[in-house]
Structure 1
Amino acid sequence: MSRHHHHHNHTSTQPDWDAMGPLLESKAEVESPLYRQAAAWLGELTPPAGVRRVLDVGSGPGVLTTLLAEAFPAAETVAVDPTPQLLERARARAERAGVADRFQALRAQLPGDLSGLGSADLVWAGNMVHHVGDQRTALADLGALLRPGGVLAVVEGGLPTRRLPRDLGIGRPGLEARVDAAHSEWFAAMRADLPGVKDVVEDWPALLAAAGLTPSGSRTFLLDIPAPAPAPVREHHVAFFERLREAPGGLLTDEDLAVIDRLLDPHDPEGLLNRADTFLLTAHTVHTARR
């Protein structure tokens, strides 16, 4: 949801990744427990001692790259992203985590540069394939990076995130359901604007099989942080709603925007930082396949 363009402008549907860096980073940090479980599952599918190179394709700020480096201690782990500022964040994170000696950052345009990434025992593509017009070809290109027996893990789907009660006590009940509807509309426009876009049924195991891989299971990982949510979660909620507030006009009603303004007000007793009823409930699905 780029803030720089009017809604009818072609580029308005494509995210401004650099501007989104802090939000992407805080989201992945808050969701780390879920991703640690996913990494542990991947360690059951492919023994960590045998994994020498891991590619995190569309790594963003590298939260997952570092988690994968921790889960696969014998591997060189590579953050792959087109945005230099996000790769800088990834580098700094690898330093802080003490894995910089086996971390690499590769700037690559996706999907165009996929073939130049070199081979790997594990390829992780987290919410990246849906940003490529031709998802079927992208999966085949990702699969082609695998060494024999290697695993491709594609994060797509799951459940919409919930942060607040259905009835907040301000505005019309069901705010988050309307936010989901607005996001679906934006997502459809974002997909429609991608170069070379092709519609496919989003049956990920079938798409992985069509890419010449052998599906090895899909699993959904749940994150449940009950109310009252701790400060980092609330701060992430604030960042999420601030980003939403900057979205192109027309997706949410003025009434809902007024409610969001109150949620963002640090001095309002109904604000996100002051409510005792904010929580975080979400789920992400990881689809895997072997070469």
Structure 2
Amino acid sequence: MTHPSSHTAHDGAHHCSSHEPDADGQAEILDLDAEVLGEHIASITAWLPLEKEPRHIVDLGCGTGAGTFALLTRFPDAEVTAVDTSAGHLQRLRAKAEALGVAERVRTVQADLDAAWPDLGRPELVWASASMHHMADPDRTLGKVHDLLAPGGLFAVVELADFPRFLPADAPQERPGLEERCHAALAHDAAEHVPHRGADWGPKLAAAEFTVEGERTITVNVDGSRSEAVGRYAVSSLRRLRGSAAHALTPEDLGALDQLLDADSPFSLLRRTDVAVRTERTVWAARRV
């Protein structure tokens, strides 16, 4: 889904409101997220405790399609309804579907899920990755998903621990603690603007009359030597973090951060060999009885 404001600099996969001024930059991050973390997304889809393979899946807050295409791969007989508020993200998703030869298995729906819900059919699986915490009223959304699902259907909620970390703690090139100070500034903003990010969805799902059948935390640690996309992912993500955290950083910290983001700097993240993507994602699998 689209991020609801510039305060949420990065959520990784998919998001849910269309007030984002930097849609192209956000789409780039979502595409890189899918490329860098594709193995982890696939491991989540493989883990889902399904009684039978779904034929109809709804991806709530699909972004540019990281979850949509992972689900299409995991379930080759399924069709996916991909829902997002961003017309640009959905257009990008459709172009990818055409290029991959799966366009006939994808339906896109532009909708604001904080308003009236469109007809999304009767799916056996609903997937919401990094989107639930953007809902104005998550409890209302949980109730809507419960009513949407076919009896016995599964709701998979994927939540992010926090903004990914990219730099080693003992890296000599930047000011000590720079990344932690950036994180602290972002967390302060997120607590005000995205209070449900990092929530424990288990009790909320149970309160919405789901039966929680599993919970799993995925540890992400992708070394930059495995993919050159890691450096581009770090630059795009930290550039957006800079926009959200700049007001809380000293000029010295901003200068050090700008060197990391400058492709021509000797300290550029694109030139370094010690960049990695480190974070966690938790998934809850909840059944409508």
TM-score, normalising length: structure 2: 0.86
5+ long unaligned stretches in structure 2: 8-18
Q: Among residues 73, 98, 103, which one is paired with 2:76 in the alignment?
A: 73
Structure 2 match to 1:172: 175
Pairing of 1:67-146 with structure 2 (within 5 A): 67-114=70-117, 116-146=119-149
Amino acid of the residue matched to residue 187 of structure 2? S
Query: Is 1:38 the counterpart of 2:41 in the alignment?
Result: no
Letter of the 1:259 counterpart: A
What is aligned with 1:6? none
Distance, in Å, in 2 between the alignment partners of 1:239 and 1:134 is 30
Corresponding residue pairs, total:
272
Corresponding residue for residue 16 of structure 2: none
Could you tell me how far apart the structure 2 residues matched to 1:17 and 1:83 are? 12
- Are the structure 2 counterparts of residues 107 and 94 from structure 1 closer, same or farther at C-alpha, using a change threshold of 3 Å? same
Which string of whole-angstrom CA distances, capped at 9 and with x for unpartnered residues, describes residues 60-83 of structure 1?
111210111111111111110011
Amino acid at match of 2:176: P
Query: What CA deviation, in whole Å up to 9, does each residue of 1:19-70 have, x standing for no partner?
Result: 411112212221111100001112x43432xx11000001011121011111
SS at match of 2:169: coil
Query: Matches of 1:186 and 1:114 in 2, distance apart?
Result: 29
How far residue 247 of structure 1 moved from its aligned partner, in angstroms, is: 2.9
Taking the aligned partners of 2:124 and 2:169, their CA distance within structure 1 comes to 44
Quick one: which of 184, 189, 192 aligns to 2:192? Answer: 189
What is the rounded CA distance, in whole Å, between the counterparts of 2:274 and 2:246 in structure 1?
A: 29
* 2:14 paired residue number: none
Partners in 1 of 2:224 and 2:98 — Cα distance?
33
| C-alpha displacement of 1:200 | 11
Counterpart of 1:2, as a letter, is S
Task: Classify 1:201/1:91 alpha carbon distance in 2 versus 1 (closer, same or farther; 3 Å).
Answer: closer
- Once residues 224 and 108 of structure 2 are traced to their aligned partners in structure 1, the CA distance between those partners, rounded to angstroms, is 37
SS at match of 1:282: strand
Matches within 5 A, 1:11-50: 15-16=20-21, 18-19=23-24, 20-42=26-48, 44-48=49-53
Deviation track 1:188-232 (CA, whole Å, cap 9, x = no partner) reads 22137xxxxxx8993311100100111111111222222535311
Structure 2 counterpart SS, 1:95: helix
Which secondary structure state, in structure 1, belongs to the residue aligned with residue 161 of structure 2? strand
TM-score normalized by the length of structure 1: 0.86
Q: After TM superposition, list the pairs within 5 Å mapping 1:272-291 onto structure 2.
A: 272-291=269-288
Which whole-Å deviations, capped at 9, do the CAs of 1:143-199 have from their partners, x for residues lacking one? 21110110001112435522111133234312222222122112122137xxxxxx8
- Partner amino acid for 1:38? I
- Percent identity of paired positions between Structure 1 and Structure 2: 38
Aligned to 1:57: 60
- Give the secondary structure class of the aligned counterpart of 2:151: strand
Match of 2:10 in 1: none
**Cα RMSD (Å) of the superposition?**
2.2
Alignment pair present for 1:252 and 2:228: no
1:118-139: CA deviations, max 9, x gaps?
2210000111111112111211
What is the rounded CA distance, in whole Å, between the counterparts of 2:98 and 2:235 in structure 1?
28
Q: Which moved more, 1:94-103 or 1:226-235?
A: 226-235
